């Protein structure tokens, strides 16, 4: 048999109904990917062969995510979502309904009143942090979780400062409380998901030089993001919730 005929027969066999399906390219939704840590995670996933959907709050503003999409050969798409606007969630779900999300990562975080004792934090400031850092991410997860298969991964960007056990210095009290609340809410979600095989991760990425972390942070985005993505992807196929740092070590609740 000639090599041409052999190749033809091999191709025909691959197209028969009994031939195994080739694995599809995995898809990630990174919520909060316009810049900083979320954008860097989107870029890292793209470099690892993933399709990435990234969200931005302001559709009128040009962001690094748009630049990434322009050079991605169609493997990065940009969607609109403000996690503080519940009305945005149903339309986003409808737009993504035909997609399978192998990874849903909610990257959200803001802070204020860094040095203010919690009893002196203005109510409006407290509500803003709690909605953005805790309630908003959980709304996203609960609205979109049906797009993530049992073999998929749902993750939220937490913080080591959300650890009650490790809080021995005080400070950043409203931020710490919001991340501890996020941890508790995702743990409640995990309890309701106990019958599924989904992997769930609360990621404590460390103190990174971003707009939120500031210039005094010891770690750069470039050195941090590959470690974060390694840990996230290592949890695929492992059911249940884990609260992990960038090295994959468990953070105490």
Whether residue 9 is contained in a domain is answered as no
Whether residue 137 is contained in a domain is answered as yes
* C-alpha to C-alpha distance for 57 and 64, rounded to whole angstroms: 13
Full residue range of the structural domain in which residue 101 is found:
28-245
What six digits make up the tokens of 9?
Answer: 């027969």
Whether residue 8 is contained in a domain is answered as no
Strand partners, 227: none
Whether residue 60 is contained in a domain is answered as yes
Cα-flanking dihedrals φ and ψ of residue 205, to 5°? -80, -15
* C-alpha to C-alpha distance for 27 and 103, rounded to whole angstroms: 7
| β-sheet with 153-157: strand ranges across | 76-80, 51-56, 27-31, 103-106, 153-157, 199-204, 240-245
* C-alpha to C-alpha distance for 95 and 98, rounded to whole angstroms: 8
Of 198, 110, 217, 112, residue with least CA distance to 148: 198
Whether residue 20 is contained in a domain is answered as no
Whether residue 227 is contained in a domain is answered as yes
Whether residue 195 is contained in a domain is answered as yes
Whether residue 185 is contained in a domain is answered as yes
* C-alpha to C-alpha distance for 75 and 96, rounded to whole angstroms: 15
CATH code where residue 234 lies: 3.40.50.720
> pLDDT tens, 185-216?
999 999 998 888 999 999 998 767 666 666 66
pLDDT at 224: 87
Half-sphere exposure of 177 (CA within 13 A, CB side): 19
pLDDT at 218: 63
pLDDT at 211: 61
State which residues of the chain have pLDDT below 70. 1-23, 207, 209-218
* C-alpha to C-alpha distance for 93 and 91, rounded to whole angstroms: 5
pTM of the complete model beyond 0.75: yes
pLDDT at 15: 47
Q: CA distances (Å), 169 to each of 50, 115, 116, 165, in order?
A: 40, 12, 14, 11
How many domains does the chain contain in total? 1
């Amino acid at each position: 048999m000639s090599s041409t005929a052999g190749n033809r027969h091999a191709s025909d066999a691959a197209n028969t109904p009994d031939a195994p399906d080739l694995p599809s390219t995995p898809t990630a939704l990174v919520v909060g990917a316009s810049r900083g840590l979320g954008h860097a995670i989107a870029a890292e996933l793209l470099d690892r062969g993933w399709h990435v959907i990234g969200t931005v709050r302001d559709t009128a503003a040009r962001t690094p995510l748009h630049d990434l999409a322009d050079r991605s050969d169609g493997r990065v798409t940009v969607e609109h979502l403000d996690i503080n606007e519940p009305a945005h969630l149903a339309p986003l779900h409808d737009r993504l309904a035909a997609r399978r999300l192998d990874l849903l990562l909610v990257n959200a975080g803001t802070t204020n009143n860094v040095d203010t004792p919690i009893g002196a934090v203005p109510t409006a400031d407290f509500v803003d942090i709690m909605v953005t850092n805790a309630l908003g991410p959980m709304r996203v997860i609960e609205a979109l979780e049906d797009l993530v298969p049992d073999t998929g991964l749902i993750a939220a960007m937490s913080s080591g400062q959300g650890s009650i056990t490790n809080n021995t210095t005080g400070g950043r009290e409203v931020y710490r409380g919001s991340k501890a609340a996020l941890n508790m809410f995702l743990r409640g979600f995990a309890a309701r998901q106990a019958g599924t095989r989904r992997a769930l991760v609360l990621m404590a990425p460390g103190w990174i030089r971003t707009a939120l972390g500031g210039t005094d942070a010891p770690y750069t985005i470039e050195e941090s993001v590959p470690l974060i993505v390694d840990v996230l992807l290592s949890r695929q196929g492992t059911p249940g919730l884990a609260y992990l740092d960038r090295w994959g070590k468990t953070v105490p609740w």
